[in-house]
Structures are given as C-alpha cells and as structure tokens.
Amino acid sequence: MKKIIITGGAGFIGSHLCRRLLQEGNEVICLDNFFTGTKSNIIDLMKNDYFEIIRHDVVNDIFIEADEIYHFACPASPVHYQYNPIKTMKTSILGTINMLGLAKRTRAKMLLASTSEVYGDPLVHPQKEEYWGNVNCTGIRSCYDEGKRAAETLMMDYHRQHKLDAKIIRIFNTYGPNMRPDDGRVVSNFIVQATNKKDITIYGDGSQTRSFCYVDDLVDGIIRMMNTENFTGPVNLGNPDEFTIRELAEKVLLLTKSSSKIIYEPLPSDDPKKRKPDISLAKTRLGWEPEIKLSEGLKKTIAYFQSGPGKAV
C-alpha cells in the first residue's frame, strides 16, 4: 500500500484518479480548496477507511507524508482560470513549488498535470513534445498557459538540482462524468445546451479542431506514467482522433436526440485553431493509447449529465 496525495482530488480528473488508486489498494489523501472541485465527485469514497479529504489551498504549505504526489490543483477551463487570473498563476507556480518542497522532504515521486495549452495556438500539427509552442504571454489565456509552462520548468529544475523523481504529462481535451455543467468546456457546454433544448453555441465557424480523450483512458495513462521508471517526460496524453467543433456539435445533437439549433458567436482571443496530440512517445514508453471512441464516451457522459449529480438544469 502506497500513501498517495492527489491535489485537486475533488475535481473532474482528480476524482477519477482518487477512485482508481483506491481500487488498486492504496491510501489516498485528497487535497482540494473546492474552488472548482465538488464534494459530490468524491462523496461515495468517504466510506473508504483509506480515503481522506483535506480542505487545503496549495498556495500554502502543508506538512504530511507521502510516497507519491499527483499534482492536479489548478482551474483548467477558461471560465474558471480567467475568473481570477492572478490566483491561477499563484496556484500553478506557488502551488507547484510547495508540492515540490513536500516531495523533496518526503522523497516522494511527483507527477505534474500539465496541459496541451503549453503549445498555445500551434504552428506544428500534430503536436509533439519537442515543439516549444506558440504562446501569447500577455493574452487572456496566458495565466493558465504560462503558469503551466512555469510549473514544468520548476519540475525539471527540481529533477536536475535535487534529483527529484519528477514526471510531467501534457493533458489534451478530456471529457467524461464528473465534469461540471458550468465549466465552459466544449463537451459539457454542448451536452447541457442540447439536453435543455437551448441553442448550441459554436465560437468561430466550427472548423477549428480538437481531439477528445475519455477520462478512463486518460487515468490509465496517468498511472502508467507514474509507474514507469527512469522517465520524466514530458509526455502527451490524449486521443489523436481529430474532430471539428462542428462535428462534435452534430454528434451531441444526434446522441441526445435534441431539437436544438446550432448558432455561431465570435471566436475568443487566442483560442487555438488546431489541437491534436502526437502520442508516439506514450505508445513507446508507456505502452499506452486510448481505446474508447468518441461516440461511446459521449454516450456515457450524456447519461451522467442527464441523471444524478451531473444533471443538467
């Protein structure tokens, strides 16, 4: 049994990670300040004697023991990370420094949840880990983009200077149960709008592309990365199947049997036109690639939003 800390453990991805690591027989400590995470995501885990929740903001120090740290604390959708951009930067930079200090003290392995946003609006397609990105460091998205880039720098400096066992993953668009109805991400937006018979809003002309990875596939890749020896990364984790935003909207309409109409609004500033991971490195080093196709994953996600804690209202 390992003692594992998951920062942001009540969030969308973090809650799935908590559940999976408990199922594998570990002791899990969930750290969350509940800015975007919700107790409903983890309430069923509280009956497990090996699960603990600590309300904590990672911009402040914490002193507990751990064998592994999965660092997921940071708002990840534009509507939330742009709400308080200075706080977003503090979470990415100060939060990562604090967790690295904890990892150094306890000699724990630490994995950083970075993002495909470090590539910005990419000039290279698909995106490989060697690509340094095309990022606007003064734009409205830069609090998140640059915060994660700084967090990656800190991870590598602790790895080189203190020999910390550090691991970096770059997460591409992910979807599934436990997403918030109000998080502003394209999958949840479309499902909530279609379920409530409201117009589906596409920003831009709908030709921009994304690659959507179901959360169960992502969690498998995350754990494989933590368990792979002598590999720091960064490594892309995402589904290389590429769809236009218009195609996603049409799939959601079909699967929800909704009569909603598609409307178009101006594209937000610095919104990437193309996003697709090259996962060759993940295949080679982790033996990982996603298995769940978009239609299958959307059916599960729609079912979540139509019932239970994810009910769209």
Tokens for 195, please give them. Answer: 């379920």
Active site residues: 144
Cis peptide before 266 (omega within 30 of 0): no
Residue matched to tokens 């400590």: 29
Q: How many residues does the chain have?
A: 313
Distance (Å, rounded) from C-alpha 69 to C-alpha 108?
A: 7
